[in-house]
Chain A
Amino acid sequence: DTAVSQTPKYLVTQMGNDKSIKCEQNLGHDTMYWYKQDSKKFLKIMFSYNNKELIINETVPNRFSPKSPDKAHLNLHINSLELGDSAVYFCASSPGGGARQFFGPGTRLTVL
């Protein structure tokens, strides 16, 4: 059974388009995260939700909007995609903030 799943695995799109990435976890965790990992491999936190409530919102352009319909799901919608948005986006979950995190397989986004 997959613990943290993301769809799609690959996303290739044109500049200016809007796209969404979906994440689901079946671990019963309360906290979910979105990370961005660029070509230099640095893992940067974008958002964190605890029980459907936003608790971390790092300096991220307003074009990025997370949505958590329930505590098992955290989706990421990106408007007006730019070249600099090309990266791998990881979803993760944990039992609580500061605890060990479990990562999804990642979504490789390429903006042309």
Chain B
Amino acid sequence: KAGVTQTPRYLIKTRGQQVTLSCSPISGHRSVSWYQQTPGQGLQFLFEYFSETQRNKGNFPGRFSGRQFSNSRSEMNVSTLELGDSALYLCASSLAGGSGSGETQYFGPGTRLLVL
């Protein structure tokens, strides 16, 4: 079974631009979560989607948004990029989750975003 895939793997943008990252979950998985990883803040939860609905959200500004499609694929968008948005963005999928089920979340390789 194919793992979680993320595209693109690397991105370079300039301040003020916007960016869209894509995540394809493991087949049959319906929950997709996004995390930001930086050296200073570590791994931080952005949001989780299930059945095309945002189910949970972390403490990030409104410039960070996402969506999920009917095939469970998810995208996240960052508008008006800032230097501090440079990070590794990780996507994770699980079967259904919900209510802190403790299901394993499987991570993709990440998209490394550099904002200049």
Chain A partners chain B: no
Interface, chain A (partner B; CB < 8 A): none
